[in-house]
Copies of this chain bind each other. A is one copy, B any other.
Amino acid sequence: MRNFSSKLLENAVDQISRLPGIGRRTAVRLAIHLLQQPTEETDALTTAITDMRHRIYSCRHCHNLSDEEECEICRNPARQAETVCVVQDIRDVIAIENTEVFRGRYHLLGGVISPINGIGPGELHMDTLWKRLPEIKELILALPATTEGDTTAYYIYKHATALRPDIRVTTIPRGLSVGDELEYADEATLGRSMLNRIDFQNSFAKP
C-alpha cells in the first residue's frame, strides 16, 4: 500500500499497523472507518487509550492492572490472602475470574521464563512473590502448558519450597477439555492426565 494522498492518513495507518496482528491493509480499513465516523467516536477511542496508558496502576502486591495502587482483589477482605494463584498476566486473571470458582488472590508474573527471548526470573515479578510467601499457605501455579510455563513453574516450586518448606504448591492438571473425545487428545496431554489421575468422587465441579 503506497501512494497515499494524505500524510495524515499515512501516518495514522503506519501507527495502527504497528499493533500486533494488524496488517497494513487492515490498518487502512480501520483508518477509513474512523474517518467515516463522527469525530466523537475517534476522540472516545483515543481518550480511552491515553487514559488507560497513563493512569493505570500495576497493583503493588500482585501486579494486577488496577485503577488504584492496590487492585480490587487485594483490597477485598473476602478474598483469601493465604491462597495465591500465580499467572502470567491479566488475561489469565480474567479467564479464572470468569469461572467464578476461585476465592483467593493472584500474583501476576508479567510473563514466563524464556531464555530464547532473554526473559529470566529477574525480568519477572518474582521478588514481590517471595515477599508475599510468609502469608501464603497454598501457591497455585496456573501457568501455560508449554516448556516455558513448565520451566517457570518448576523454578517457583524450587524457590518457594526452599524458602518455606511447609508451603503447599499445587498446579492445574493437564487433561481433556470439557466435551473433548479421548481419541482427539494429544498423547502428551492424555499421558499426563493418566499419570495424574484423581479419585472419581473428587472429580465433579463443586458448587
Contacts and interface: CB of A to CB of B under 8 A. Distances in A.
Given A19-B33, A20-B29, A29-B20, A51 B6 contact: no
A83 interface: no
A190 interface: no
A7 interface: yes
Contact of A94 (B1, B22, B30, B51): B1
A6 B46 CA distance: 17
B26 A65 contact: no
Interface stretch (A53-61, A114-122, A169-177): A53-61
Contacts of A6: 52, 56, 65-67, 71
Interface string A33-59: 111000101111110111111111001
Interface size of A as a range: 35 or more
Contact of A5 (B9, B43, B90): B90
Contacts of A72: 5
B52 A12 contact: yes
Interface in A79-100: 89-91, 93-94, 97-98
A168 to B, nearest CB: 26
A64 B94 contact: no
Interface of A: 1-9, 11-12, 14-16, 18-22, 25-26, 28-35, 39, 41-46, 48-56, 59, 64-67, 71-73, 89-91, 93-94, 97-98, 183
